[in-house]
Each structure stands twice: as structure tokens, then as C-alpha cells.
């Protein structure tokens, strides 16, 4: 079995490395990012999305957002062209990007028309969990297709859950992203307040992390804030609250808190923070309050 991997950025590169380490044969391609390091580990160098797909039994895409996925799979020189020209049988496409659920369904419908199965399988955990293979993976699609690829996904994450039909994976990811983004914003507000009041933020963290306010988000993001380290594990530019808002509006679901944090993120993008980790939400509150949430020496 050969796996084609398209999209070798912050998340895709370590995920692809983990598949090679697990013994899988890979052909890989990224239009923008260098993947020399992956080739050095034994991956075959793809020359286009079409070329990767023509040589693969399983095709994994890990791309920034909906338009990139549509282009990579359905566009000119896309994966679909490669599959059809190669006449390969029983090919499965797994899109692990975080995109709009409606786009997952749209792409899957086109592929299904050609007899090609697709799963949407976005992930949570950021770069650290992509590196150590402990991602949470939420999957939408047919159960029989999921069963075929579950052992592959298990090399990338410790939690791999089929949550429903195609599109359900990205609906679940939107729920995840709302909770994460709002949690970071709440942590940012709380720690800006306590710092402004003169209380050591490290002490506040130690005091509350074991209580009801404690969370995985707090444990991951507060140390970054205290160190002033906003190296991206998940970039603000990729925080997909726009997809959450669009989906919620289409369904008639009010999400006022999500809309508020989306505007905060938009302000940070305008301020040049788009490539920062989403823990940089704290910078918005720091600017408003005139204080920095940092570890005291």
C-alpha cells in the first residue's frame, strides 16, 4: 500500500514523518513548502497533486482551508485527475484539513460520482501532538471506509473517532475550535486582570490549574504566554472561526461569543500577528490594559 500525502506544513510534515516511521511507503508533495527532509527519510518526491494521486492507494490532504482542498483534489492537475488517469481501484481520499463541512460534502459528492470514497478527518492538538502522534482525530464518512484506514489514522493520533457521515468530522472540529478559541480568550482576560492587579500570573496558574477552571488549553497556552513565546503550533491565520460562523449562520444557530473572538482574531491579523500562535490572543488584552502577562524573574 502506498500513501500519498499532500500538504507538508506545520502539521502535515510531522504527520507524514510518523507514517514513514510506522513503515508506510509515502509519495509526498507540497506546492509551497520544502519537503526535502521527508524525502531524506525515504518518501518519494511527488511533482504535483495529480502525480501523487496517480501513484497512491490512500491520499491524505492536510491543507490550510476549503479553497486549497478543492483545488488540490478537484482542480486542474488535481488528485482526481491523477486517480482517473491511473485507473487505480478502491482509492480512498482522507482530507485531514480543517475546512467548511459543506465543502467536505461537496468534494465527497464529486469523488463519489467517480466511485472514489472520501473521509473528512480533521485533527486537534497542534504541532506538539502532530509530532508525537497523539492527535485527536474526528472522522466523517462511511463506517466501512473508516475501518479500512483506521490503522493508518491510529499512527497519527491516540483518539480516532468516527462521529457521523461525511462532513461530521469538520462539524466536530468547528465545535472543538469554538471551545479552544473561547477558552484562550477567557484565559487571556483572566490573566490580564490578575496581572494588572499585581498578582504573579505564574502563581495564579499554579493555584487554579487543578480546579474547575483548569483545562488542557490553559495547561498548553499559559506557559507560552508567560514566556512570551508565540511560535505557532496553530497559527491565528488558520483559526477557522470563519467557517464556524458561516456554518452556524446557515443553520440558524446564534454564536455571539464566537463572533466576538473572531473579531479579536481579525484585529490581530491586521496588526501582523497572523503567523503567531493563537495563544497570542493575550496580546489583544495586553494592549487594551497596558500590561504584559509574563513570568516574573
- Residues 2, 173, 221, 231: which is the catalytic one? 173
Look up 295 and say whether it is catalytic.
Answer: no
- Burial track 43-59 (b if 16+ CB lie within 10 A, e otherwise): bbebebbbbbbbbbebb
192: CB partners within 8 A, 6+ apart:
282, 285, 286, 288, 289, 291, 293
Q: Are strands 123-124 and 135-140 parallel, antiparallel or unpaired?
A: antiparallel
Q: Closest Cα to residue 265, out of 249, 242, 291, 248?
A: 242
In eight-state DSSP terms, residue 233 is S
Main-chain phi, psi angles of 163, to 5 degrees: -105, -10
The Cα 86–Cα 90 span in angstroms is 12
Are the C-beta atoms of 52 and 29 separated by less than 8 Å?
A: yes
* Three cell numbers, residue 261: 473572538
Q: How far is Cα 28 from Cα 45, in angstroms, rounded to an integer?
A: 6
Q: Which residues are catalytic?
A: 173
Amino acid at each position: 500500500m502506498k500513501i500519498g500525502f499532500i500538504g507538508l506544513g506545520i502539521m502535515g510534515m510531522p504527520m507524514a514523518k510518523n507514517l514513514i516511521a510506522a513503515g508506510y511507503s509515502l509519495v509526498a508533495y507540497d506546492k509551497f513548502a520544502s519537503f526535502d527532509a521527508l524525502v531524506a527519510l525515504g518518501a518519494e518526491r511527488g511533482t504535483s497533486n495529480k502525480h501523487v494521486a496517480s501513484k497512491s492507494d490512500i491520499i491524505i490532504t492536510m491543507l490550510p482551508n476549503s479553497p486549497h482542498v478543492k483545488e488540490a483534489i478537484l482542480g486542474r492537475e488535481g488528485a482526481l485527475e491523477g486517480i482517473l488517469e491511473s485507473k487505480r481501484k478502491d482509492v480512498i481520499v482522507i482530507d485531514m484539513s480543517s475546512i467548511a463541512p459543506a465543502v467536505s460534502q461537496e468534494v465527497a459528492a464529486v469523488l463519489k460520482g467517480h466511485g472514489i470514497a472520501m473521509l473528512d478527518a480533521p485533527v486537534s492538538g497542534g504541532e506538539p501532538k502532530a509530532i508525537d502522534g497523539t492527535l485527536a482525530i474526528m472522522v466523517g464518512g462511511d463506517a466501512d471506509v473508516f475501518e479500512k484506514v483506521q490503522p493508518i489514522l491510529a499512527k497519527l493520533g491516540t483518539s480516532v473517532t468516527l462521529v457521523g457521515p461525511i462532513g461530521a468530522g469538520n462539524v466536530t472540529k468547528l465545535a472543538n475550535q469554538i471551545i479552544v478559541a473561547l477558552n484562550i480568550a477567557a484565559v487571556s482576560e483572566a490573566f490580564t486582570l490578575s496581572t494588572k492587579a499585581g498578582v504573579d500570573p505564574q502563581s495564579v496558574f499554579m493555584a487554579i490549574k487543578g480546579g474547575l477552571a483548569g483545562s488542557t488549553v490553559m495547561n498548553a497556552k499559559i506557559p507560552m504566554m508567560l514566556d512570551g513565546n508565540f511560535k505557532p503550533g496553530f497559527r491565528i491565520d488558520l483559526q477557522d472561526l470563519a467557517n464556524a460562523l458561516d456554518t452556524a449562520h446557515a443553520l440558524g444557530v446564534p454564536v455571539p461569543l464566537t463572533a466576538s473572538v473572531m473579531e479579536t482574531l481579525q484585529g490581530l491579523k491586521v496588526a501582523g500577528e497572523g503567523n503567531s500562535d493563537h495563544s497570542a490572543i493575550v496580546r489583544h488584552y495586553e494592549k487594551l490594559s497596558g500590561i504584559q502577562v509574563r513570568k516574573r524573574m
